[in-house]
Amino acid sequence: MQTNDFSFQHLSPNAVLNAIESLGLEVDGRLFELNSFENRVFQIGILDQAPLIAKFYRPGRWSAAQIQEEHDFTLQLEEDEVPAIAPLVFNGKSLFHAEGYYFALYRRQGGYAPELDIKEHLKSIGRTLGRIHAYGSSQLYKARPSYSLEEMGSKSAQHLIENHIPTHHVQIYKDITDQIFTTIDQHASQIYALPQLRLHGDCHLGNILWQDPHPFFVDFDDSVNGPQMGDLWMLYSLSQDQELNKERLYTLLDGYEMFYEFDDEQLRYCEVFRTLRMINYTSWVGTRWNDPAFKRAFPWFDKDGYWLEHARDLEQQYQKLLKI
C-alpha cells in the first residue's frame, strides 16, 4: 500500500506489530506510542528481551536514499563511540519497508534532560557536538539537502500567507517578513560561504538525553548539510539574560573546540537562524495541519490571536537582525 497523503491513518497497532515481526522478532503484544509529531514512534515489547523503539517515517518526506544517509552517519558515530543513537542493523540493513511505510528500530535509551546550569553538562554537550561535527565535516550528504535561507524563510512565509494566515493579518505579516528577508539577504553570501558539514539539524535540548557521564544525541531526522551555527545556536541562547547566554556559550565552546574548530565570526548570525526557525516552524505546523495529531497538539494555530502574537515576535526579531 502506498500512502501519499502524508498521514498515518493506515498505521494500525496490528500493522506496527506485523512490521516488527517481519524482521524475525517475536513481539509480546506490548505497544506504547511515544511523543512524536513528524513521524510515529513506538516502544515495542519483545519476548524475553528489552523493549525496542520503532520509528515509522512520515510518507513523502524523505526518500529511502535520504533516510539511509542519515542512518549511515549515525552508525558511523556509534561505531566510533560517539554517544549518538543509531538504528539497529538486521542482516546488514537498517531501513525497512512494510505496510506502506519506511521504518527503523532503535535500542531504548534512558536519560533525562541535561541541566544547563551544571557546567559539566554543558561542556560535555559541547564536546559531544564537536565530535559529531568533526565526523560531519568528513563528507557531505549527497541525497539530503543543504540548509537554505529561502526554504526556511521566504518559501515558508509564502506557504503561510497563501494557506493559513487570516486575510486581515496578511499585510501585517507580509510587511514584517519582507523587512526580515531584505535584512537577511544582506548577509546571505557570507552565510552560504561558511564551512558546510553534516548537522544534527534539530539540536535542541529535547533531543539530548543525559545519562551520566554522557549526553546522548537522538533523532537526526532533520539532519542536513549546513554551517555549525545551524546546531550551536539552540544550545546557549535560551535566556533573556544575555550575560548568562554568553557564559553558557563560552562553556559550550570550551568543550566543543577540544574536537572541532569554531570561528567566532559565525556567532553574529545567531538571530538569523532563530528568526528563520520561528517562521519555518510555524509553516511546518501548517503543512501538517490535516494530521489530527497536530490539531490536538497546536490548538492555537488557527486562532486569530496567535497571528498577532507571531507578528509581534517577528518584529522583535527584526530589531535584533538590524544589529548584526
| Active site residues per annotation | 202, 219
Say if residues 31 and 13 touch (Cβ distance below 8 Å): yes
Say if residues 88 and 74 touch (Cβ distance below 8 Å): no
CA distance 141 to 320: 32
Grid cell locating 254: 570550551
**Which one-letter amino acid corresponds to residue 210?**
W
CA distance 127 to 213: 12
Strands 40-46 and 52-56: antiparallel
CA distance 50 to 45: 7
Q: Name the burial class of residue 55, with classes exposed (0-12), middle (13-18) and buried (19+) by CB atoms within 10 angstroms of its CB.
A: buried
CA distance 10 to 1: 9
